[in-house]
Structure 1
Amino acid sequence: MAFPPHRGRPLAHKVRQRTPGHHYNASFLSAADRTEILAWLGTLHPLWEERYSKHFPPPPGQSQRRLLRPVYWLGNWQFACLDYYRPPKGVLNRCVKAEPFPAVLQRQVAKIEELARRMFRGPDMPKGWHLNTCLVNFYGSRLEDGRWADTARVGEHKDFEPGPVASLSFGERALIQFVTSTRPGERDEVVLEQWLDDGSLQLFGGARWKDQTFHRVQRVDTRAGHVMPPELPDFRTRRINLTFRYVPDEHVIPFAKLSPEAREDVRPYMETLARGSAFFKAELEKEQAMGRPQG
């Protein structure tokens, strides 16, 4: 597969924007690192996850639904049906041990962590903080009933993992907005918006951007014509975002040590992942070696 060229404004016009607690660098990735990361992305087998499961059913009045986009996780996998990581109460059986970062991503993480430790102090930088989880989101269009539906936008939400959050963007540029919504779905004042370019880094933290505001992906362009790896059935990817966060290591649980209910609910996903990943295949074998019942 031929990867799309690194397009955008000339580097001379790509300035580094600094707002207290928010950092943006439009040209963070080198051309060589970008190419290496795209090659690695082409080897992944993303999952389409369902929001709920047998032991974590939909709330009253709601029904089962599939997530809007395929995803992949590194470090630990926060399955949607386990309701993600939501401290202080939602910390157990939420973060399942997953594949480590490849070397090219670990190099980026080391640079981002160094920058974050210069930017944040005190309560904005939790003790033991390090970027040990990565959500890979594939943004684009999904084939539904013979028509292509754009699923590239993301509604208002917060990242509940403690400490600074970083993201790397690939493909079409996206407009991210930080808004002072009182609850998800309400559209109040936009207090910061930023176009995220191909090869860029966004880093944010502190109460202003983690606690007092929501953020959303309001728009993903189509003008550059990016088609991103890997090839997926019934889905066209035009942007990929890697979001790096911190989960305390004691809350990252190997699959074999999850509760019986959680293991039963995520086992089908683990089996799907194991078909393309030696890591997940080994995790399933560890469960069998421990003699855990498989439901």
Structure 2
Amino acid sequence: MAFPPNRGRSLAHKARQRSPGHHYNASFMSAADRAEALSWLAALHPLWEERYSKHFPPPPGQSQRRLLRPVYWLGNWQFACLDYYHPPKGVLNRCVQAEPFPAVLQRQVTKIEELARRMYRGPDMPARWHLNTCLVNFYGSRLEDGRWVDTARVGEHKDFEPGPVASLSFGERALIQFVTSSRPGERDAVVLEQWLDDGSLQLFGGARWKEQTFHRVQRVDTRTGKTLAPELPDFRTRRINLTFRYVPDEHVIPFAALSPEAREDVRPYMAQLAKGSAFFRDAVAREPTVSPG
């Protein structure tokens, strides 16, 4: 489906002029690659994940909760109930081996990696850096108690994976903001904001954007009124974002190699993924047999 282009001098141009380490290209993907990527995305079976699990229970005073949006991962899957990848301490049993990138996304990754190696040097570019993990976020509205609730946002956070981070956007444009983080609870000063358009690339790295600021998706437009496939029960997707990062390869492990506790926590998700993926069916089949007693 076609989305209307933006007119005039955009925030993208201004951001490029004033923000070393942050790159934006509003028309990164060709029309053919964009169409192929959307066709591939339409065949996915995203998960609704819960934040906590048996071995990673809610903190005192909090309760179990579902994530705001359905997700899918490529390269490796960082389940919410495994508490994601968070070096230096949070590296074990966090990144479960997942499906490789399809050809259309690998073509984009190759171009992004070439661009990143021209942009970043020294400590901003880890020696073995390559984009080997991708989070697919589905932004939209979900049906709650008979009414549609807009959940198309992400709160302030940092990406802890080393090196530059890249994202590709599809559908309605989204406003991303980078905000200061000088003191906890006081992260309201916006140092950069950027509309992320359909078919665009955002690339950021270095201490300025990875360590000294948080970033958040403030809102997602509703101008076109269209939804994106795949069709999901009680959810309407109007934007899909793919965020590519680097996890050191030694920290990515097969499901069968997870600790018994981690396998128990994510086994229901793996079984659900296996219904729509030969890769995950094989991963589940390789799980060690637990002897009784």
TM-score, normalised relative to structure 2? 0.95
Q: Does 1:276 align with 2:276?
A: yes
1:234 match: 234
Q: Does 1:291 align with 2:293?
A: no
Tell me how far apart the structure 2 counterparts of residues 184 and 65 of structure 1 sit (CA, whole Å).
24
Tell me how far apart the structure 1 counterparts of residues 291 and 186 of structure 2 sit (CA, whole Å).
45
Quote the offset at 1:225 in angstroms: 1.9
Helix, strand or coil for the counterpart of 1:114? Answer: helix
AA at the equivalent of 1:9: N
Q: Does 1:8 align with 2:5?
A: yes
AA at the equivalent of 2:4: R
What pairs with 1:108-119 in structure 2 (closer than 5 Å)? 108-119=108-119
Helix, strand or coil for the counterpart of 1:129? Answer: coil
Quote the offset at 1:293 in angstroms: 5.7
AA at the equivalent of 2:260: P
Number of residue pairs matched by the alignment: 290
Tell me how far apart the structure 2 counterparts of residues 43 and 257 of structure 1 sit (CA, whole Å).
28
Could you say if the C-alpha distance between residues 85 and 183 of structure 1 is closer, same or farther in structure 2, counting changes exceeding 3 Å? farther
Quote the offset at 1:186 in angstroms: 3.8
Contact 2:3 2:224 in 1 (8 A): no
AA at the equivalent of 1:291: T
Tell me how far apart the structure 2 counterparts of residues 7 and 184 of structure 1 sit (CA, whole Å).
39
Contact 1:167 1:241 in 2 (8 A): yes
What pairs with 1:1-295 in structure 2 (closer than 5 Å)? 4-9=1-6, 17-18=15-16, 19-182=19-182, 186-287=186-287, 290-292=288-290
Quote the offset at 1:160 in angstroms: 0.5
Could you say if the C-alpha distance between residues 215 and 12 of structure 1 is closer, same or farther in structure 2, counting changes exceeding 3 Å? closer
Quote the offset at 1:96 in angstroms: 0.2
Helix, strand or coil for the counterpart of 1:108? Answer: helix
Helix, strand or coil for the counterpart of 1:156? Answer: strand
Contact 1:7 1:198 in 2 (8 A): no
AA at the equivalent of 1:220: V
Instruction: Please tell me the root mean square deviation across aligned C-alpha atoms, in Å.
Output: 1.8
Could you say if the C-alpha distance between residues 38 and 247 of structure 1 is closer, same or farther in structure 2, counting changes exceeding 3 Å? same
Helix, strand or coil for the counterpart of 1:225? Answer: coil
Quote the offset at 1:105 in angstroms: 0.1
Tell me how far apart the structure 1 counterparts of residues 240 and 226 of structure 2 sit (CA, whole Å).
10
In the alignment, structure 2 segments of 5+ residues that lack a partner are none
TM-score, normalised relative to structure 1? 0.94
Contact 1:140 1:236 in 2 (8 A): yes
Contact 1:177 1:216 in 2 (8 A): yes
Deviates more, 1:167-176 or 1:183-192: 183-192
| 1:28-79 deviation line (CA, Å, top 9, x unaligned) | 0000000000000000000000000000100111110000000000000000
| 1:182-229 deviation line (CA, Å, top 9, x unaligned) | 467544210000000000000000000000000000110001223111
AA at the equivalent of 2:142: R
Deviates more, 1:6-15 or 1:167-176: 6-15
Tell me how far apart the structure 1 counterparts of residues 155 and 249 of structure 2 sit (CA, whole Å).
29
Helix, strand or coil for the counterpart of 1:87? Answer: coil
Helix, strand or coil for the counterpart of 1:112? Answer: helix
In the alignment, structure 1 segments of 5+ residues that lack a partner are none
Contact 1:256 1:292 in 2 (8 A): no
Could you say if the C-alpha distance between residues 293 and 39 of structure 1 is closer, same or farther in structure 2, counting changes exceeding 3 Å? farther
AA at the equivalent of 2:159: D
